[in-house]
Each structure stands twice: as C-alpha cells, then as structure tokens.
C-alpha cells in the first residue's frame, strides 16, 4: 500500500500560485503553475497536510491556522517544507494561504483531480454534502520521497485528531 512506512510516494502533478508579497493585498491573484511531487520533494523532508476543502469549518477554524502559526516548530525538527493540499483550484488555495498569513512558510497547493490522494487511497466522498470526491483529512511525513508516517482522520467525523499539528510534531 502507498501509505506504508518506506513506500515511495506517487509521482503526481500539483497546481499552485507561488506566494509573492503583492498577493497579500488581495488585489492581484497570481499566475498558476504546476510541479511534480518527485521533482519537488526528492532529497527533502516534507510534511503534507491534506484537507477536504479550503474554508470548510474544521479545516478553516481548527486545522490549518494552528499549523501555519507553528510551522517553525516543524522546521526546527528538520522539515524542509510544509504543504497544505486540497482539490480546490490554485486561486482558492492561494487566497486561503493569504488569508492564513502563510506567506512563504507554508505552500498551499491543489491536488489536481485528487490524483495524489487517490493514489494513497486517501479520498472521501462528500457527495451527500454536494461537494463530490475530496481529499481526506490526513498528514503525511515524507523523507526523500518515502513515507515516514501517514495518519488520517477517517471519514466525515468532524473531528481533528491524527492530522493535527500536535500529532505531526509528536511523530517527527
């Protein structure tokens, strides 16, 4: 399974709008670009935090703001980069990163068509909420493209547990 310790992560494409100071005003929106996970993350220790959606209640109020505020604690433990991913488009992810004052400390990226999360077996069907298939809420620690730890908050429980900043820090 792709989430087992030592497994190589899938090589998929992500979308993003790289942070730039002029984005902070909210008056410009930036230009989307893409990257491939294997090219971007090779030789690095990466934390990927996946969410069902930007601006959704748990993600917006409990999950991502503490992560952004405490990102320096992750970096102090040897993490090279932190990514927040969702199926939302790069414009939404960029705006949400700006809203969270992430600047260049946390990358907010689009898991295009949830391809990365699907390959990990980590999607959730929120059709009953008219949201369709989404990336699940999970945290993934990667070192040189290999899974160090994977923890998911299963289903639509409305609870943040395994993917929280506190849990991630304990596992590093």
Pairing state between β 33-36 and 13-16: antiparallel
CA–CA gap between residue 67 and residue 154 (Å, rounded)? 19
SS3 122: coil
Structure token pair of residue 14: 């992500």
Considering 51, 59, 81, 84, which one is annotated as catalytic?
A: 59
Helix (H) or strand (E) holding 107: strand 107-111
29 is known as an active-site residue: no
**d(C-alpha 8, C-alpha 2), whole Å:** 7
- Cβ atoms of 16 and 35 within 8 Å: the answer is yes
**Residue (of 142, 110, 139) closest to 122 by Cα position:** 139
**Active site (catalytic) residues:** 59
């Amino acid at each position: 399974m792709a989430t087992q310790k030592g497994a190589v992560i899938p090589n998929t494409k992500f979308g993003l709008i790289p942070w730039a100071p002029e984005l902070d005003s909210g008056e410009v929106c930036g230009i989307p670009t893409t990257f491939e996970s294997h090219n971007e993350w090779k030789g690095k220790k990466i934390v990927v935090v996946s969410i069902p959606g930007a601006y959704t209640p748990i993600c917006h109020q409990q999950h991502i703001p503490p992560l952004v505020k405490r990102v320096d604690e992750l970096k102090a433990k040897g993490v090279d980069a932190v990514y927040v991913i969702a199926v939302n488009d790069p414009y939404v992810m960029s705006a949400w990163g700006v809203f969270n004052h992430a600047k260049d400390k946390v990358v907010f990226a689009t898991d295009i068509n949830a391809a990365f999360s699907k390959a990990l077996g980590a999607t959730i069907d929120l059709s009953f909420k008219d949201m369709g298939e989404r990336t699940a809420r999970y945290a993934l620690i990667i070192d040189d493209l290999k899974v160090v730890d994977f923890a998911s908050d299963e289903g639509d429980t409305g609870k943040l547990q395994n993917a929280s900043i506190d849990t991630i820090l304990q596992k590093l």
